[in-house]
Amino acid sequence: MSSEPENGGELLHGGKFIELRQTTGDRPWEFANRPNAKGVVAVLAVTDDKRVVLTEQFRPPVEKNVIELPAGLAGDIPLQEDEPLETAARRELKEETGYEAKSWKPLGDTPTSAGLSTEVVTFFYATGLTRVSDGGGDSSEDIKVHIVHQSDIPKWCNDRRAEGKLIDFKIYAALYLAKSKSHETIGRLWY
Amino acid sequence: MSSEPENGGELLHGGKFIELRQTTGDRPWEFANRPNAKGVVAVLAVTDDKRVVLTEQFRPPVEKNVIELPAGLAGDIPLQEDEPLETAARRELKEETGYEAKSWKPLGDTPTSAGLSTEVVTFFYATGLTRVSDGGGDSSEDIKVHIVHQSDIPKWCNDRRAEGKLIDFKIYAALYLAKSKSHETIGRLWY
């Protein structure tokens, strides 16, 4: 257990994938950090007939299956630490769901829990989809793919919640942003 | 540093507010947990003239000001560990923004980062608002309140992002859910 001051605060405990740190100064603040990742990406992938590609997998921290956008870490693969976020998004979409996409647009970024961790997720909107494999994730993952029409999403997700699964609201946030864009109310969103 | 197995996995490091744990078994999974909280609540509070009550505060883990829904921990106050989530939501809305609300409806719940932490946030939709104080948070907080018309939210948030602040996408998720409800496409949402 090191207490050496570093950029990003003092290390309280260094795990293999997550470390617990705290800010230095008069009012220390504890937080979690992923030392081996450069970012996190999530993908709103929509087919030509307006169906959204979702994933389902068991998530140990919450001890439940979770319905999510295809997502994953960027820069966590040895020798690929500097991969651009869009490259990571393309890789994760294909690995998890088997889809490739012609068009990629950034949808913005969000902290997932700004009081708890350093994690910031960058969203992409992927269209022009072609399915090239079954997906399912890498060798350590067991991911189920769901294809749901975007107008059915709220009810479909609610039905899954009633089955005891959790719904990651990043799905809803991405759909809100994509719809805002389609209404052209926020031209500057596409920075 | 304890390695005693417990419900929720093995403790790797117990901080004051956050602990680092890992699941036991063949494929241990590290995760962060808040031992002193029973839940987290977030509030979509909308005035009669359709303006949304947002907060802004500096968040040490991400080292930026973050625009968020009014939110906070439930069950983290000594002797109030069993407070219902709606009670926590009412308390946080009033503390942070100075608003009280007549109508409270649950909007569902979401893990914030299901691979990283146990955190699940429960959303409430609060209407019939009356401002009774300035808000600003408790003695340890310094929270600024923003009141933004819901149709201006995407552009307004995007402008704040351009200033270097972060936007918590839970704002967008809550607006998507509230709009879905208003279209009556998901009657069962209100479980």
Tell me the sheet residues that pair with B129.
B101
HSE at residue A114, side-chain half, CA atoms within 13 A, is 26
- Residue of A60, A13, A16, A8 whose CA lies nearest to B13: A13
Instruction: With a cut of 90, say whether residue A154 has pLDDT above it.
Output: yes
- Report the run of H or E that residue B113 belongs to, with start and end: none
Q: What is the pLDDT along chain B (191 residues), one digit of tens a residue?
A: 344 444 578 999 999 999 999 999 888 999 999 999 999 999 999 999 999 999 999 999 999 999 999 999 998 888 788 889 999 999 999 999 999 999 999 999 999 999 999 999 999 999 999 999 988 888 888 999 999 999 999 999 999 999 999 999 999 999 999 998 765 444 444 43
pLDDT tens across A97-121, in order? 999 999 999 999 999 999 999 999 9
In DSSP terms, B59 is beta-bridged to B64
Alpha carbon distance B157, B159 (integer Å): 5
Verify whether the Cβ–Cβ distance A166 to B12 is below 8 Å.
Answer: no
**In whole numbers, what is the pLDDT of chain A averaged over residues?**
90
Interface of A with B in 117-146 (CB under 8 A): 117-120, 123, 140
Q: What is the pLDDT of residue A139?
A: 80
Whether residue B1 lies within 8 A of chain A, CB to CB, comes out as yes
CA distance B166 to chain A (A): 7
Q: Which of residues 146-185 of A touch B (CB under 8 A)?
A: 151, 154-155, 158-159, 161-162, 166-177, 180, 185
Residues of B whose CB is below 8 A from A66: 111, 114
- Token look-up 């649950």 returns B106
Mean pLDDT of chain B: 90
Fold assignment, A39-186: Nucleoside Triphosphate Pyrophosphohydrolase (3.90.79)
% of chain A residues with pLDDT over 90: 77
Taking an 8 Å cut-off on Cβ atoms, the answer to whether B172 and A167 are in contact is no
Going from N- to C-terminal start, the domains of chain B cover 1-35, 39-184
Question: Which residues from chain A sit within 8 angstroms of residue B116, using beta carbons?
Answer: 18, 32, 34, 61, 112, 117, 119
pLDDT at A181: 76
CATH annotation of B39-184: 3.90.79.10
Task: Please name the member of B12, B15, B112 whose beta carbon is closest to the beta carbon of A113.
Answer: B112
pLDDT at residue B113, as a whole number: 98
For residue A41, the number of C-alpha atoms closer than 13 Å in the C-beta half-sphere is: 26
One-character DSSP codes across A18-46: -EEEE--SSS--EEEE-TT-SEEEEEEEB
